[in-house]
Structure 1
C-alpha cells in the first residue's frame, strides 16, 4: 500500500519531504507533482524502479526517460552541451521543457535510447519537486504518469492513490496538477527538433 503525503504546494513540510526522500533512497517508486503534470520517479540507480515504471506505463525499449534535475549545474553532469545548446537550454529553464541530449558516462546504459545514446533532461519550476531534489542530492529518473489507454495524465493525488496503491510506494499530493506534459525538444544534433508540443512555449525553438 502506498504512503500518502499531503504536502503544501508553496511551503513543503520538511518532515514529509525527508520521508519521501527516505523512500526513494530505499529504492522506492513515487508519484509526484511537477510544473506540467504528475510523474513517476525513482533514483537513477534503481533498476527495479525503472522496470516498474515500464510495467505501469507499458513502455517499449525506445522510450526516452527523463532525468529531472535540480539546477543547470546538475543537468550538465549528465548530458553533453555545446555553447549554442547551452544558451537555448539555459534560457528555457526552469520550465516545462524536456530536452533530448547526448548522455555522458554518468548515465547508466539502461536509461539511454538504444540507438542514439541520448537521454531526456529537465529542470522543473515546482516548489515541491525542487524540495525533493534538494534533499535527495541527485536527479530523479522520471516518466509522465500517463497510464495505458488514457489520453490525459491523472491530476489528483487521491485519484492516483486509488489507481496505483499497490504498484507505487508513495503518492505526493500538493493540490491539483496540470494535465499537459512538457514540450519535448530534441537538441542531440545541435538543431532544435520539436518532438512534442506541451506546456512549454515551443515558439523559441521553431
Structure 2
C-alpha cells in the first residue's frame, strides 16, 4: 500500500476485516503496529494473546484520526491540548486521564489512556473509514539485537497465520514513539523515542 497515498479500495478491504473483528498489522510513522477496532472485545483479546499478556496487564494505546475526537476518550486540559496541537500528527504517545467511554483494557490502574495520532496516512485513513479508533501496540521482534521488525516481508512470514492482514507500507522504522505523560500537573517524558517534543 502506498504510504502517502493509499488506494481507497485497499483501505476499504482492511476496514471490512476490522469491522468483522479482524486483527491487522500496519505501518506507522515509527514502528509497525498490531491493531484492531477498540470496540471489538474478541479482537482485543486476540491481540492480548498474541502479545503474550494477561488481560489485566494489557494497557494498549489507540490511534485517533485527529484531535477533534480525543475529548470523547480522555480529559484534555487547555495546556495539554496546546502541546498536542503543536506535536501531532507525529511520533508521540500522550498519556491522558481516560473517560469511562474507554474500554477497561485500555485504562491503566491510574485510569489513564495512551493516545496516538501518527503522521502516516495508512493508519489515519483506516481510523477515518472505520469511524472508531484502532488499538495500537508495537510489533516487537524476538531477536535480542533487533528490537522491532521493520521489513514487511519478514513480518508477513512471521505473522501470516496469526493475523488477518499484514499491510506492506514499505520498510518501517525501528525507533518507537516518545511517550509523554500528561496526566499530572506538568508533562513528563516517560520514554525518549523518535519524536522531540516542541513546547
Same fold (TM over 0.5): yes
SS at match of 1:190: coil
Gaps of 5+ in 2: none
Quote the offset at 1:73 in angstroms: 0.5
Once the two structures are overlaid, the 10-residue window that deviates more, 53-62 or 36-45, is 53-62
Q: For residues 46-89 of structure 1, what are the alpha-carbon distances to aligned partners after superposition, in whole Å with 9 as ceiling and x for unaligned? A: 22222222222223534431110100001221110111111111
Aligned to 1:34: 28
Aligned to 1:82: 77
Once the two structures are overlaid, the 10-residue window that deviates more, 44-53 or 135-144, is 44-53
Q: In the alignment, does 2:127 pair up with 1:133?
A: yes
Q: For residues 5-37 of structure 1, what are the alpha-carbon distances to aligned partners after superposition, in whole Å with 9 as ceiling and x for unaligned? A: xx1122211111100000000000000000111
Q: In the alignment, does 2:103 pair up with 1:108?
A: yes
Aligned to 1:49: 43
Matches of 2:3 and 2:117 in 1, distance apart? 17
**Are 1:37 and 1:179, in contact at CA under 8 Å, matched by a contact in 2?**
yes
Aligned to 1:25: 19
Once the two structures are overlaid, the 10-residue window that deviates more, 81-90 or 140-149, is 140-149
Q: In the alignment, does 2:187 pair up with 1:192?
A: yes
Cα 1:149–1:58 change in 2 (3 A) is farther
**Are 1:38 and 1:154, in contact at CA under 8 Å, matched by a contact in 2?**
yes
What does residue range 50-65 of structure 1 map to in structure 2 within 5 Å? Answer: 50-60=44-54, 61-65=56-60
Report the number of matched residues.
197
Matches of 1:94 and 1:181 in 2, distance apart? 15
Quote the offset at 1:44 in angstroms: 0.8
Aligned to 2:151: 156
Matches of 1:90 and 1:63 in 2, distance apart? 28
Matches of 1:163 and 1:78 in 2, distance apart? 33
**Are 1:85 and 1:190, in contact at CA under 8 Å, matched by a contact in 2?**
no
Aligned to 1:146: 140
Aligned-residue CA RMSD (Å)? 1.6
**Are 2:58 and 2:105, in contact at CA under 8 Å, matched by a contact in 1?**
no
Once the two structures are overlaid, the 10-residue window that deviates more, 76-85 or 22-31, is 76-85
